[in-house]
Structure 1
Amino acid sequence: MIKVLLVDDDVDLTAMLVEYLAQENFEGHAVHNGEDGVAAALGGGYAIVVLDVMMPRLSGIETLRRIRQSSRVPVLMLTARGDNIDRITGLDLGADDYVPKPCSPGELVARLRAILRRTEPQPTPAASASAAATVKAGPLLLCPGSRTATLEGRTLDLTGTEFNLLEVLARGAGHLISKQELSQRAFGRPLSPFDRRIDVHVSSIRQKLGTRGDGRSWIQTVRGMGYQLVTD
Protein backbone atom coordinates (compact mmCIF):
# COMPACT_ATOMS: atom_id res chain seq x y z
CA MET A 1 0.00 0.00 0.00
CA ILE A 2 1.12 3.54 -0.74
CA LYS A 3 2.07 5.43 2.43
CA VAL A 4 0.47 8.87 2.81
CA LEU A 5 1.30 11.34 5.58
CA LEU A 6 -1.52 13.66 6.68
CA VAL A 7 -0.43 16.79 8.54
CA ASP A 8 -3.49 18.59 9.89
CA ASP A 9 -4.58 19.70 13.35
CA ASP A 10 -8.17 18.56 12.67
CA VAL A 11 -8.15 15.17 14.42
CA ASP A 12 -11.65 14.14 13.31
CA LEU A 13 -10.97 15.01 9.67
CA THR A 14 -7.69 13.10 9.51
CA ALA A 15 -9.26 10.05 11.20
CA MET A 16 -11.99 10.02 8.54
CA LEU A 17 -9.43 10.45 5.75
CA VAL A 18 -7.23 7.62 7.06
CA GLU A 19 -10.26 5.30 6.94
CA TYR A 20 -11.20 6.42 3.44
CA LEU A 21 -7.63 6.12 2.16
CA ALA A 22 -7.47 2.52 3.39
CA GLN A 23 -10.40 1.69 1.11
CA GLU A 24 -8.45 3.17 -1.82
CA ASN A 25 -5.27 1.14 -1.22
CA PHE A 26 -3.44 3.91 0.64
CA GLU A 27 -1.87 3.55 4.08
CA GLY A 28 -2.61 6.85 5.80
CA HIS A 29 -0.87 8.14 8.92
CA ALA A 30 -1.75 11.40 10.63
CA VAL A 31 0.17 13.90 12.74
CA HIS A 32 -1.37 17.06 14.09
CA ASN A 33 1.28 19.76 14.16
CA GLY A 34 4.00 21.08 11.89
CA GLU A 35 6.97 19.94 13.95
CA ASP A 36 5.80 16.32 13.89
CA GLY A 37 4.95 16.73 10.22
CA VAL A 38 8.50 17.75 9.31
CA ALA A 39 10.01 14.87 11.29
CA ALA A 40 7.65 12.30 9.76
CA ALA A 41 8.01 13.61 6.21
CA LEU A 42 11.80 13.46 6.40
CA GLY A 43 12.08 10.09 8.10
CA GLY A 44 8.93 8.07 7.58
CA GLY A 45 9.36 6.73 4.05
CA TYR A 46 6.13 8.30 2.82
CA ALA A 47 5.29 8.44 -0.89
CA ILE A 48 3.40 11.72 -0.53
CA VAL A 49 2.42 14.32 2.09
CA VAL A 50 -0.94 16.07 2.51
CA LEU A 51 -0.28 19.30 4.38
CA ASP A 52 -2.81 21.76 5.77
CA VAL A 53 -1.82 25.42 5.55
CA MET A 54 -3.75 26.61 8.61
CA MET A 55 -2.17 25.08 11.70
CA PRO A 56 -1.24 26.60 15.08
CA ARG A 57 2.37 27.06 16.19
CA LEU A 58 4.11 26.01 12.98
CA SER A 59 2.08 26.89 9.89
CA GLY A 60 1.78 24.64 6.89
CA ILE A 61 3.83 27.10 4.84
CA GLU A 62 6.74 26.98 7.30
CA THR A 63 6.38 23.21 7.57
CA LEU A 64 6.69 22.94 3.77
CA ARG A 65 9.71 25.25 3.81
CA ARG A 66 11.50 22.97 6.30
CA ILE A 67 10.57 19.81 4.38
CA ARG A 68 11.89 21.28 1.13
CA GLN A 69 15.24 22.05 2.72
CA SER A 70 15.98 18.32 2.76
CA SER A 71 13.41 16.41 0.71
CA ARG A 72 11.68 16.32 -2.69
CA VAL A 73 8.79 14.19 -1.40
CA PRO A 74 5.59 15.22 -3.25
CA VAL A 75 3.42 17.58 -1.21
CA LEU A 76 -0.28 18.37 -1.71
CA MET A 77 -1.37 21.49 0.15
CA LEU A 78 -4.82 21.96 1.71
CA THR A 79 -5.67 25.66 1.45
CA ALA A 80 -8.59 27.86 2.43
CA ARG A 81 -10.97 28.30 -0.48
CA GLY A 82 -10.15 31.52 -2.34
CA ASP A 83 -6.86 32.14 -0.49
CA ASN A 84 -4.57 32.74 -3.46
CA ILE A 85 -1.69 34.06 -1.34
CA ASP A 86 -1.23 30.74 0.48
CA ARG A 87 -1.57 28.81 -2.78
CA ILE A 88 1.04 30.87 -4.59
CA THR A 89 3.40 30.81 -1.61
CA GLY A 90 3.05 27.04 -1.30
CA LEU A 91 3.71 26.46 -5.00
CA ASP A 92 6.66 28.84 -4.89
CA LEU A 93 8.17 26.82 -2.03
CA GLY A 94 7.85 23.59 -3.99
CA ALA A 95 4.37 22.20 -3.32
CA ASP A 96 3.24 19.96 -6.17
CA ASP A 97 -0.42 20.96 -6.09
CA TYR A 98 -3.15 22.24 -3.81
CA VAL A 99 -6.77 21.43 -2.99
CA PRO A 100 -9.09 24.05 -1.47
CA LYS A 101 -10.86 23.06 1.76
CA PRO A 102 -13.41 21.73 2.24
CA CYS A 103 -12.85 19.02 -0.34
CA SER A 104 -14.35 15.57 -0.78
CA PRO A 105 -12.23 12.52 0.06
CA GLY A 106 -12.75 11.34 -3.51
CA GLU A 107 -11.25 14.53 -4.94
CA LEU A 108 -8.32 14.28 -2.54
CA VAL A 109 -7.58 10.69 -3.63
CA ALA A 110 -7.83 11.67 -7.30
CA ARG A 111 -5.29 14.46 -6.77
CA LEU A 112 -2.97 12.14 -4.85
CA ARG A 113 -3.01 9.60 -7.66
CA ALA A 114 -2.44 12.29 -10.29
CA ILE A 115 0.59 13.66 -8.43
CA LEU A 116 2.07 10.21 -7.91
CA ARG A 117 1.61 9.32 -11.59
CA ARG A 118 3.51 12.36 -12.74
CA THR A 119 6.25 12.36 -10.10
CA GLU A 120 7.27 8.71 -9.79
CA PRO A 121 10.20 7.52 -11.92
CA GLN A 122 9.13 5.31 -14.80
CA PRO A 123 11.19 2.09 -15.07
CA THR A 124 12.53 1.08 -18.46
CA PRO A 125 13.28 -2.52 -19.49
CA ALA A 126 16.91 -1.95 -20.42
CA ALA A 127 19.64 0.66 -20.33
CA SER A 128 19.32 1.18 -24.08
CA ALA A 129 15.63 1.96 -23.69
CA SER A 130 16.47 4.44 -20.97
CA ALA A 131 19.02 6.16 -23.17
CA ALA A 132 16.54 6.31 -26.03
CA ALA A 133 14.00 7.94 -23.75
CA THR A 134 16.22 10.90 -22.87
CA VAL A 135 15.09 14.33 -23.99
CA LYS A 136 17.78 16.72 -25.27
CA ALA A 137 17.19 20.39 -25.96
CA GLY A 138 20.48 22.20 -26.56
CA PRO A 139 22.60 21.85 -23.40
CA LEU A 140 19.56 20.64 -21.42
CA LEU A 141 19.28 16.88 -20.91
CA LEU A 142 16.33 15.19 -19.19
CA CYS A 143 16.03 11.50 -18.32
CA PRO A 144 12.33 10.73 -17.70
CA GLY A 145 13.12 7.21 -16.50
CA SER A 146 15.16 8.45 -13.55
CA ARG A 147 13.51 11.89 -13.52
CA THR A 148 16.87 13.65 -13.50
CA ALA A 149 17.88 16.74 -15.42
CA THR A 150 21.16 18.48 -16.19
CA LEU A 151 21.97 21.78 -17.86
CA GLU A 152 25.49 22.11 -19.29
CA GLY A 153 26.46 19.19 -17.05
CA ARG A 154 25.02 20.80 -13.91
CA THR A 155 22.39 18.75 -12.06
CA LEU A 156 19.08 20.56 -11.58
CA ASP A 157 17.25 20.11 -8.27
CA LEU A 158 13.67 19.94 -9.56
CA THR A 159 10.47 18.89 -7.87
CA GLY A 160 8.40 16.26 -9.68
CA THR A 161 5.98 18.87 -10.97
CA GLU A 162 8.80 21.12 -12.17
CA PHE A 163 10.38 18.18 -14.00
CA ASN A 164 7.09 17.48 -15.79
CA LEU A 165 6.71 21.08 -16.92
CA LEU A 166 10.31 21.34 -18.07
CA GLU A 167 9.97 18.06 -19.98
CA VAL A 168 6.95 19.41 -21.88
CA LEU A 169 8.85 22.60 -22.72
CA ALA A 170 11.97 20.65 -23.74
CA ARG A 171 10.03 18.34 -26.04
CA GLY A 172 8.65 21.43 -27.76
CA ALA A 173 11.86 23.48 -27.56
CA GLY A 174 11.80 26.44 -29.93
CA HIS A 175 8.01 26.44 -30.13
CA LEU A 176 5.42 28.36 -28.17
CA ILE A 177 3.42 26.15 -25.79
CA SER A 178 0.23 27.59 -24.34
CA LYS A 179 -0.50 27.46 -20.63
CA GLN A 180 -3.54 25.32 -21.36
CA GLU A 181 -1.41 22.75 -23.19
CA LEU A 182 1.19 22.82 -20.42
CA SER A 183 -1.50 22.13 -17.84
CA GLN A 184 -3.01 19.28 -19.85
CA ARG A 185 0.31 17.59 -20.57
CA ALA A 186 2.04 18.20 -17.21
CA PHE A 187 -0.93 18.01 -14.81
CA GLY A 188 -3.41 15.95 -16.82
CA ARG A 189 -6.21 18.50 -16.47
CA PRO A 190 -7.30 21.83 -17.98
CA LEU A 191 -6.16 25.10 -16.47
CA SER A 192 -8.98 26.88 -14.68
CA PRO A 193 -9.50 30.66 -14.95
CA PHE A 194 -7.19 32.77 -12.77
CA ASP A 195 -5.11 29.69 -11.87
CA ARG A 196 -1.49 30.81 -11.48
CA ARG A 197 0.16 27.48 -10.71
CA ILE A 198 1.83 27.33 -14.15
CA ASP A 199 3.35 30.80 -13.73
CA VAL A 200 4.65 30.04 -10.23
CA HIS A 201 6.22 26.73 -11.22
CA VAL A 202 7.80 28.21 -14.35
CA SER A 203 9.24 31.05 -12.28
CA SER A 204 10.88 28.50 -9.97
CA ILE A 205 12.25 26.53 -12.93
CA ARG A 206 13.72 29.74 -14.39
CA GLN A 207 15.61 30.41 -11.17
CA LYS A 208 17.04 26.90 -11.15
CA LEU A 209 18.09 27.08 -14.81
CA GLY A 210 19.78 30.46 -14.35
CA THR A 211 20.44 32.72 -17.33
CA ARG A 212 22.00 32.05 -20.71
CA GLY A 213 25.34 33.45 -21.77
CA ASP A 214 23.58 36.43 -23.37
CA GLY A 215 21.77 37.21 -20.11
CA ARG A 216 18.37 36.00 -21.29
CA SER A 217 16.22 33.43 -19.55
CA TRP A 218 16.10 29.92 -20.99
CA ILE A 219 12.30 30.14 -20.82
CA GLN A 220 10.74 33.05 -22.69
CA THR A 221 7.24 34.35 -21.95
CA VAL A 222 4.84 35.28 -24.71
CA ARG A 223 2.43 37.46 -22.78
CA GLY A 224 -1.10 36.15 -22.69
CA MET A 225 -0.18 33.08 -24.74
CA GLY A 226 2.37 30.81 -23.09
CA TYR A 227 6.03 29.86 -22.79
CA GLN A 228 8.88 28.79 -25.03
CA LEU A 229 12.18 27.08 -24.18
CA VAL A 230 14.97 28.60 -26.25
CA THR A 231 18.10 26.64 -27.07
CA ASP A 232 19.89 28.72 -29.75
Structure 2
Amino acid sequence: MDSQISVLVVDDDHDIRTLLRDHLEGNGFTCRIAEDGRAMIKALERDTYDLVVLDLNLPGEDGLTLCRNLRAKSELPVIMLTARGDPIDRIVGLEMGADDYLTKPFEPRELTARIRNVLRRQQRSQSQLEQVQARRAHFQGWTLDLERRHLIDSAGRVIMLSGADFRYLRALTDNANIVLSREQLARAGGAKPGEFIDRAVDLQISRLRAKLGDDARTPSLIKTVRSEGYVLACPVEHEL
Protein backbone atom coordinates (compact mmCIF):
# COMPACT_ATOMS: atom_id res chain seq x y z
CA MET A 1 0.00 0.00 0.00
CA ASP A 2 2.82 2.46 0.93
CA SER A 3 4.26 2.29 -2.60
CA GLN A 4 1.07 4.00 -3.80
CA ILE A 5 1.28 6.82 -1.27
CA SER A 6 2.67 10.10 -2.53
CA VAL A 7 3.88 12.66 0.04
CA LEU A 8 4.97 16.28 -0.42
CA VAL A 9 7.44 17.51 2.23
CA VAL A 10 7.60 21.31 2.59
CA ASP A 11 10.49 22.57 4.76
CA ASP A 12 13.04 25.37 4.30
CA ASP A 13 15.82 23.29 5.89
CA HIS A 14 17.64 21.42 3.11
CA ASP A 15 19.02 18.74 5.44
CA ILE A 16 15.59 17.97 6.91
CA ARG A 17 13.96 17.85 3.45
CA THR A 18 16.60 15.44 2.21
CA LEU A 19 16.50 13.29 5.36
CA LEU A 20 12.72 12.91 5.24
CA ARG A 21 12.65 12.24 1.50
CA ASP A 22 15.30 9.52 1.81
CA HIS A 23 13.54 7.95 4.81
CA LEU A 24 10.09 7.97 3.21
CA GLU A 25 11.34 6.63 -0.12
CA GLY A 26 13.30 3.98 1.79
CA ASN A 27 9.99 2.90 3.32
CA GLY A 28 8.21 2.59 -0.02
CA PHE A 29 6.56 6.01 -0.31
CA THR A 30 6.81 8.35 -3.27
CA CYS A 31 8.16 11.67 -1.97
CA ARG A 32 8.70 15.13 -3.45
CA ILE A 33 10.16 18.13 -1.64
CA ALA A 34 9.57 21.90 -1.64
CA GLU A 35 11.45 24.65 0.19
CA ASP A 36 8.66 27.22 0.64
CA GLY A 37 5.03 28.09 -0.06
CA ARG A 38 5.59 29.03 -3.69
CA ALA A 39 7.32 25.75 -4.44
CA MET A 40 4.56 23.91 -2.57
CA ILE A 41 1.82 25.52 -4.67
CA LYS A 42 3.67 24.71 -7.90
CA ALA A 43 4.16 21.10 -6.79
CA LEU A 44 0.45 20.74 -5.97
CA GLU A 45 -0.50 22.19 -9.36
CA ARG A 46 1.85 19.83 -11.16
CA ASP A 47 1.21 16.53 -9.34
CA THR A 48 -1.31 14.75 -7.11
CA TYR A 49 -0.38 13.90 -3.53
CA ASP A 50 -1.97 11.88 -0.74
CA LEU A 51 -0.57 14.01 2.09
CA VAL A 52 1.50 17.13 2.79
CA VAL A 53 4.12 17.37 5.54
CA LEU A 54 4.27 21.13 6.17
CA ASP A 55 6.75 23.07 8.31
CA LEU A 56 5.24 25.87 10.41
CA ASN A 57 8.18 28.27 10.12
CA LEU A 58 8.68 28.99 6.43
CA PRO A 59 10.02 32.11 4.68
CA GLY A 60 7.27 34.20 3.09
CA GLU A 61 3.87 32.67 3.84
CA ASP A 62 4.17 30.59 6.99
CA GLY A 63 2.83 27.08 7.43
CA LEU A 64 -0.33 28.19 9.25
CA THR A 65 -1.35 30.48 6.39
CA LEU A 66 -0.55 27.84 3.78
CA CYS A 67 -2.50 25.21 5.71
CA ARG A 68 -5.53 27.48 6.08
CA ASN A 69 -5.50 28.36 2.38
CA LEU A 70 -5.10 24.72 1.39
CA ARG A 71 -7.91 23.61 3.68
CA ALA A 72 -10.25 26.24 2.18
CA LYS A 73 -10.18 24.43 -1.18
CA SER A 74 -9.00 20.88 -0.46
CA GLU A 75 -9.33 17.97 1.98
CA LEU A 76 -5.71 16.94 1.36
CA PRO A 77 -4.34 15.71 4.74
CA VAL A 78 -1.67 17.88 6.38
CA ILE A 79 0.82 17.01 9.10
CA MET A 80 2.38 20.15 10.61
CA LEU A 81 6.03 20.29 11.70
CA THR A 82 7.45 22.87 14.08
CA ALA A 83 10.44 23.54 16.31
CA ARG A 84 8.15 25.18 18.85
CA GLY A 85 6.91 23.27 21.87
CA ASP A 86 4.19 25.64 23.08
CA PRO A 87 0.81 23.83 23.24
CA ILE A 88 -0.91 26.92 21.79
CA ASP A 89 0.99 26.41 18.53
CA ARG A 90 -0.40 22.88 18.28
CA ILE A 91 -3.89 24.15 18.94
CA VAL A 92 -3.65 26.90 16.33
CA GLY A 93 -2.22 24.47 13.78
CA LEU A 94 -5.08 22.04 14.33
CA GLU A 95 -7.61 24.88 14.21
CA MET A 96 -6.20 25.89 10.82
CA GLY A 97 -7.06 22.39 9.58
CA ALA A 98 -3.93 20.31 10.17
CA ASP A 99 -4.66 16.62 10.71
CA ASP A 100 -1.72 16.03 13.02
CA TYR A 101 1.20 17.88 14.58
CA LEU A 102 4.82 16.85 15.21
CA THR A 103 7.40 18.85 17.17
CA LYS A 104 11.05 18.90 16.10
CA PRO A 105 13.30 17.11 16.78
CA PHE A 106 11.54 13.83 16.02
CA GLU A 107 12.38 10.36 14.77
CA PRO A 108 11.58 9.93 11.05
CA ARG A 109 9.93 6.62 11.98
CA GLU A 110 7.42 8.54 14.08
CA LEU A 111 6.51 10.70 11.08
CA THR A 112 6.03 7.54 8.98
CA ALA A 113 3.69 6.11 11.64
CA ARG A 114 1.70 9.34 11.80
CA ILE A 115 1.36 9.50 8.01
CA ARG A 116 -0.06 5.99 7.95
CA ASN A 117 -2.39 6.79 10.83
CA VAL A 118 -3.76 9.95 9.20
CA LEU A 119 -4.32 8.15 5.90
CA ARG A 120 -6.10 5.27 7.62
CA ARG A 121 -8.48 7.77 9.21
CA GLN A 122 -9.09 9.37 5.82
CA GLN A 123 -9.78 6.02 4.17
CA ARG A 124 -12.43 5.34 6.77
CA SER A 125 -14.17 8.69 6.21
CA GLN A 126 -16.75 7.24 3.84
CA SER A 127 -17.77 4.52 6.27
CA GLN A 128 -17.90 7.12 9.03
CA LEU A 129 -20.36 9.17 6.99
CA GLU A 130 -22.63 6.13 7.05
CA GLN A 131 -22.05 5.75 10.78
CA VAL A 132 -23.43 9.26 11.37
CA GLN A 133 -26.86 7.71 10.75
CA ALA A 134 -26.18 4.78 13.07
CA ARG A 135 -28.39 4.32 16.12
CA ARG A 136 -26.03 2.17 18.19
CA ALA A 137 -22.38 1.12 18.36
CA HIS A 138 -21.62 -2.38 19.71
CA PHE A 139 -18.19 -3.31 21.11
CA GLN A 140 -16.91 -5.98 23.53
CA GLY A 141 -20.35 -6.63 25.04
CA TRP A 142 -21.11 -2.91 25.39
CA THR A 143 -23.63 -0.84 23.44
CA LEU A 144 -23.33 2.90 22.99
CA ASP A 145 -26.82 4.23 22.26
CA LEU A 146 -26.20 7.16 19.92
CA GLU A 147 -29.78 8.41 20.11
CA ARG A 148 -30.28 8.31 23.88
CA ARG A 149 -26.60 9.07 24.57
CA HIS A 150 -26.06 6.38 27.18
CA LEU A 151 -24.13 3.14 27.58
CA ILE A 152 -25.61 -0.34 28.04
CA ASP A 153 -23.63 -3.23 29.50
CA SER A 154 -23.89 -6.92 28.53
CA ALA A 155 -26.62 -7.47 31.17
CA GLY A 156 -28.78 -4.69 29.73
CA ARG A 157 -28.05 -2.21 32.52
CA VAL A 158 -27.94 1.45 31.53
CA ILE A 159 -24.89 3.53 32.47
CA MET A 160 -25.47 7.26 32.25
CA LEU A 161 -22.87 9.37 30.45
CA SER A 162 -21.98 13.02 30.83
CA GLY A 163 -21.80 15.11 27.67
CA ALA A 164 -18.02 14.81 27.60
CA ASP A 165 -18.21 11.03 28.26
CA PHE A 166 -20.49 10.59 25.27
CA ARG A 167 -18.46 12.78 22.90
CA TYR A 168 -15.17 11.07 23.76
CA LEU A 169 -16.66 7.58 23.46
CA ARG A 170 -18.38 8.51 20.21
CA ALA A 171 -15.04 9.66 18.78
CA LEU A 172 -13.34 6.46 19.91
CA THR A 173 -16.04 4.14 18.52
CA ASP A 174 -16.15 6.06 15.23
CA ASN A 175 -12.38 5.52 14.93
CA ALA A 176 -11.99 2.03 16.39
CA ASN A 177 -8.41 0.72 16.19
CA ILE A 178 -7.20 4.16 15.06
CA VAL A 179 -4.99 6.16 17.43
CA LEU A 180 -6.49 9.56 18.31
CA SER A 181 -4.19 12.24 19.67
CA ARG A 182 -5.07 14.19 22.79
CA GLU A 183 -5.70 17.22 20.60
CA GLN A 184 -8.19 15.31 18.47
CA LEU A 185 -9.99 13.98 21.52
CA ALA A 186 -10.09 17.44 23.08
CA ARG A 187 -11.66 18.85 19.92
CA ALA A 188 -14.16 16.00 19.81
CA GLY A 189 -14.99 16.79 23.43
CA GLY A 190 -15.77 20.40 22.56
CA ALA A 191 -12.58 22.14 23.71
CA LYS A 192 -12.11 25.67 22.37
CA PRO A 193 -8.78 27.14 21.20
CA GLY A 194 -6.57 27.81 24.21
CA GLU A 195 -8.52 25.44 26.47
CA PHE A 196 -6.67 22.27 25.58
CA ILE A 197 -4.82 20.66 28.51
CA ASP A 198 -3.24 17.19 28.22
CA ARG A 199 -4.15 16.35 31.81
CA ALA A 200 -7.83 17.12 31.23
CA VAL A 201 -7.94 14.57 28.39
CA ASP A 202 -6.16 11.97 30.52
CA LEU A 203 -8.68 12.48 33.35
CA GLN A 204 -11.61 12.13 30.95
CA ILE A 205 -10.17 8.87 29.61
CA SER A 206 -9.74 7.63 33.19
CA ARG A 207 -13.43 8.33 33.88
CA LEU A 208 -14.45 6.46 30.74
CA ARG A 209 -12.27 3.49 31.67
CA ALA A 210 -13.90 3.37 35.10
CA LYS A 211 -17.38 3.26 33.58
CA LEU A 212 -16.29 0.51 31.19
CA GLY A 213 -14.59 -1.48 33.96
CA ASP A 214 -11.32 -1.15 32.06
CA ASP A 215 -8.33 -1.60 34.40
CA ALA A 216 -6.33 1.64 34.27
CA ARG A 217 -3.04 -0.24 34.87
CA THR A 218 -3.59 -2.81 32.11
CA PRO A 219 -6.48 -1.52 29.97
CA SER A 220 -7.86 -3.87 27.35
CA LEU A 221 -10.36 -1.49 25.72
CA ILE A 222 -9.04 2.08 25.70
CA LYS A 223 -5.30 1.68 25.35
CA THR A 224 -2.63 4.35 25.74
CA VAL A 225 -0.22 4.73 22.82
CA ARG A 226 2.86 6.42 24.19
CA SER A 227 3.59 9.88 22.73
CA GLU A 228 0.56 9.56 20.42
CA GLY A 229 -2.74 9.31 22.30
CA TYR A 230 -5.45 6.72 22.86
CA VAL A 231 -7.13 3.98 20.85
CA LEU A 232 -10.26 1.87 21.28
CA ALA A 233 -8.58 -1.46 20.65
CA CYS A 234 -11.50 -3.67 19.56
CA PRO A 235 -13.89 -4.10 16.63
CA VAL A 236 -17.02 -1.93 16.58
CA GLU A 237 -20.26 -2.79 14.82
CA HIS A 238 -22.61 0.07 13.99
CA GLU A 239 -26.34 -0.63 13.92
CA LEU A 240 -28.39 1.56 11.59
Note whether the superposition's TM-score is higher than 0.5. Answer: yes
Match of 1:13 among 9, 13, 16: 16
TM-superposition CA deviations, 1:200-220 (whole Å, max 9, x none) = 35659xxxxxxxxxxxxxxxx
Aligned pairs, how many? 167
Counterpart check, 1:188 vs 2:188: no
Alignment RMSD: 3.4
Counterpart check, 1:3 vs 2:22: no
* 1:1-232 correspondence runs (5 A): 1=3, 2-41=5-44, 44-121=47-124, 134-137=130-133, 172-173=146-147, 174-175=149-150, 176-177=165-166, 179=168, 182=171, 186=175, 188-189=178-179, 195-200=182-187, 203=190, 225=204
Tell me the secondary structure at the aligned position of residue 37 of structure 1.
Answer: helix
Tell me the secondary structure at the aligned position of residue 4 of structure 1.
Answer: strand
CA distance in 1, matches of 2:35, 2:172: 32
Structure 2, unmatched stretches of 5+, are: 136-143, 151-164, 192-202, 206-240
How far is 1:86 from its partner?
A: 1.9
Q: Which has the larger radius of gyration?
A: 2
TM-superposition CA deviations, 1:148-171 (whole Å, max 9, x none) = xxxxxxxxxxxxxxxxxxxxxx97
Q: Is the 8 A contact 1:35 1:63 kept in 2?
A: no
> Residue type of the partner of 2:130?
T
Tell me the secondary structure at the aligned position of residue 51 of structure 1.
Answer: strand
Q: Which position in structure 2 is the counterpart of 1:157?
A: none
CA distance in 1, matches of 2:146, 2:45: 35
- Residues 65, 42 of structure 1: CA spacing in aligned structure 2 closer, same or farther, 3 A cutoff? farther
How far is 1:48 from its partner?
A: 0.5
* Stretches of 4+ aligned residues off by more than 6 angstroms: none
**Identity in percent:** 34
Task: Give the TM-score of the pair, scaled to structure 2.
Answer: 0.59
CA distance in 2, matches of 1:65, 1:12: 26
TM-superposition CA deviations, 1:10-51 (whole Å, max 9, x none) = 111111111111111101100000122234335521000100
Q: Which position in structure 2 is the counterpart of 1:162?
A: none
How far is 1:79 from its partner?
A: 2.2
CA distance in 2, matches of 1:5, 1:119: 17
Structure 1, unmatched stretches of 5+, are: 124-129, 141-169, 205-223, 227-232
How far is 1:120 from its partner?
A: 1.8
Tell me the secondary structure at the aligned position of residue 69 of structure 1.
Answer: helix
